[in-house]
C-alpha cells in the first residue's frame, strides 16, 4: 500500500523546509530501559457549568463584563489583551538610537473564542457538527480582522491544558491579530516564497505528495485533509494538518472542506486523548496567508499541533540544555510516533469505557 522506506537507526539530522532549521534525531536513545513506563492520572471530573468559571455562559469575567447566555460559540475581545489597536507609541528617537537596539510600535487585537457553553468538553468530545461551527467562526474572525487596514496577519490558536499554560479549562481558543508578521510566520512565508520561485511549485503540495506516497508518517486522512507527523517534527507526538487542495487560507475552503476539517480535528484530538487516556495537552494553531492585501500564491493552509507529553500522562518533553543552546533534539522518530497515533481508535476512551 505504501512505499517501503528505511528509517535511519543512528543519530541523524532532519531538515525543516518551512523554517529552514534542523532537528537532531537520536532513535537509539529509545532503548533506554526507563522508557515505556506508564503513569496514570485520576480522571478529570468537570461540571457542565461552573459558577466560578469566567468563560461559562452568564458569568461575570474579571473585567466586570458579563457573558451572554450563549448556546453555541462566543467571541469577545480579550480583557487582558497583549495587543492594542492603538499603540502606546515608541518614540522615533528610541527606534533610531542604535542599529543593535531597535524597537517598533505594534498594533493589534486579541480575541477569545469559547468553543462551547459546556465547561466539561474539549474538541475531542464535542460533536463534529459543533466543531464545524467553530471552524465557521475561525473563518469569520480571520476575514473580519484581516480586513482591518492595520492588520497584516491573523493567528488562530488554542492552548489546551494547564501544562500548556491554559488559565481556564473551559473549551476555548484565541486569536491574535498583528500589524507585522510574527517570527515563525515570517520564516514560513520566506521559505514558501523562495521554494515557489526556485521550483515553480508549492512547497507543501510537493511535501504532501511525498508523504502520501510513502505513508509511514500519515496518521489519518479524509476527502480533503491529511493529518501527519512531519518528517522534521520536534515534539514527540507533533502533527500537522494539511489541506489536500492548494488553498492559502481558511476563507478559501468550500462547505465540504469545512466539514472535512471539523472531522479531521475531532479524529486527531480523540487519538491524542486515547494515547494516554487523558485530556491531552497541546498548543495548536493555523498558519495561512498574511492579510496585507497582496497575493500570496506560495501559501498553503496548514495547522500545527505541538503536544508536550513524551511517554505517559505525566512525563513531558522539555526543551532545555542542548535544545535551548544548540538545536532541537528528539528520541522518538516521526515514523514511530505516527504509527502509535495511527493505530489508536476513532472512538474516545471515555465512550469506550461507558
pLDDT by residue for the chain (354 residues), tens digit each?
445 455 666 899 999 999 999 999 988 776 654 444 455 666 678 999 999 999 999 999 989 999 999 999 999 999 999 999 986 555 554 555 677 888 889 999 999 999 999 999 999 999 999 999 999 999 999 999 999 999 999 999 999 988 888 889 999 999 999 999 999 999 999 999 999 999 999 999 999 999 999 999 999 999 999 999 999 999 999 999 999 999 999 999 999 999 999 999 999 999 999 999 999 999 999 999 999 999 999 999 999 999 998 878 878 888 889 888 899 898 899 999 999 999 999 999 999 876
- The three-point CA angle 39-44-50 to 5° equals 160
Strand-pair partners of 240: 228, 304
CATH class of 14-24+48-345: alpha beta
Dihedral angle of Cα 87, 93, 94, 98, to the nearest 10 degrees: 140
DSSP string, 143-166: HHHHTSTT--EEEEEEEESGGGT-
- 252/35 Cα distance (integer angstroms): 44
Q: How many CB atoms lie within 10 A of CB 290?
A: 21
- 105/88 Cα distance (integer angstroms): 7
- 24/232 Cα distance (integer angstroms): 9
Chain-centre distance for alpha carbon 325: 24
The three grid cell numbers given for residue 40, joined into one nine-digit string = 496514570
Nearest to 150 by CA among 105, 103, 85, 89: 85
Q: How many CB atoms lie within 10 A of CB 96?
A: 11
pLDDT at 86: 83
Q: Are 248 and 288 in contact (CB under 8 A)?
A: yes
- 240/287 Cα distance (integer angstroms): 10
End-to-end C-alpha distance for the chain, whole angstroms: 35
**Positions marked active-site:** 172
For the stretch 182-190, contacts whose Cβ atoms lie closer than 8 Å and that sit 24 or more positions apart, written own/partner, are 182/153, 182/155, 184/19, 184/287, 185/153, 185/155, 185/287, 185/290, 187/18, 187/19, 187/20, 187/21, 188/18, 188/19, 188/287, 189/290, 189/296, 189/298, 189/299
Q: Are 131 and 225 in contact (CB under 8 A)?
A: no
Q: 22 vs 117, 163, 285, CA distance in Å?
A: 42, 26, 21
SS3 of 60, please?
strand
pTM of the model: 0.92
- The three-point CA angle 112-113-115 to 5° equals 150
- 211/251 Cα distance (integer angstroms): 25
Amino acid at each position: 500500500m505504501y512505499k517501503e522506506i528505511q528509517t535511519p537507526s543512528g543519530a541523524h539530522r532532519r531538515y525543516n523546509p518551512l523554517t529552514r532549521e534542523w532537528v537532531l534525531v537520536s532513535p537509539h536513545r529509545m532503548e533506554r530501559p526507563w522508557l515505556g513506563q506508564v503513569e496514570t492520572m485520576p480522571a478529570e471530573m468537570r461540571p457542565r457549568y461552573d459558577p466560578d468559571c469566567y468563560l461559562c455562559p452568564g458569568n461575570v469575567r474579571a473585567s466586570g463584563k458579563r457573558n451572554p447566555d450563549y448556546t453555541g460559540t462566543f467571541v469577545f475581545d480579550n480583557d487582558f489583551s497583549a495587543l492594542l489597536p492603538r499603540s502606546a507609541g515608541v518614540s522615533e528617537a528610541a527606534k533610531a538610537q542604535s542599529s543593535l537596539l531597535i524597537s517598533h510600535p505594534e498594533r493589534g487585537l486579541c480575541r477569545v473564542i469559547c468553543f462551547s457553553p459546556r465547561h466539561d468538553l474539549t474538541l475531542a468530545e464535542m460533536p463534529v457538527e459543533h466543531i464545524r461551527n467553530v471552524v465557521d467562526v475561525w473563518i469569520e474572525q480571520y476575514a473580519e480582522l484581516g480586513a482591518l487596514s492595520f492588520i497584516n496577519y491573523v493567528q488562530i490558536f488554542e492552548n489546551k491544558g494547564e501544562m500548556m499554560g491554559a488559565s481556564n479549562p473551559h473549551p476555548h481558543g484565541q486569536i491574535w491579530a498583528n500589524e507585522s508578521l510574527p517570527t515563525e510566520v515570517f520564516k514560513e512565508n520566506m521559505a514558501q516564497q523562495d521554494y515557489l520561485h526556485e521550483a515553480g511549485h508549492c512547497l507543501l503540495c510537493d511535501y504532501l505528495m511525498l508523504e502520501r506516497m510513502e505513508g509511514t508518517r500519515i496518521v489519518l486522512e479524509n476527502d480533503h485533509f491529511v493529518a501527519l507527523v512531519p518528517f522534521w517534527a520536534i515534539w514527540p507526538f507533533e502533527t500537522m494538518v494539511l489541506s489536500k487542495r492548494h488553498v492559502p487560507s481558511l476563507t478559501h475552503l468550500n462547505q465540504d472542506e469545512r466539514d472535512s476539517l471539523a472531522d479531521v480535528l475531532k479524529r486527531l484530538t480523540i487519538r491524542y486523548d486515547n494515547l494516554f487516556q487523558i485530556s491531552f495537552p497541546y498548543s495548536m494553531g493555523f498558519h495561512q496567508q498574511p492579510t496585507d492585501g497582496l497575493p500570496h500564491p506560495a501559501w498553503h493552509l496548514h495547522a500545527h499541533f505541538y503536544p508536550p507529553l513524551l511517554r505517559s500522562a505525566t512525563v513531558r518533553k522539555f526543551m532545555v540544555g542542548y535544545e535551548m543552546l544548540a538545536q532541537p533534539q528528539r528520541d522518538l522518530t516521526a515514523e514511530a510516533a505516527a504509527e502509535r497515533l495511527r493505530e489508536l481508535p476513532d472512538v474516545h476512551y471515555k465512550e469506550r469505557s461507558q
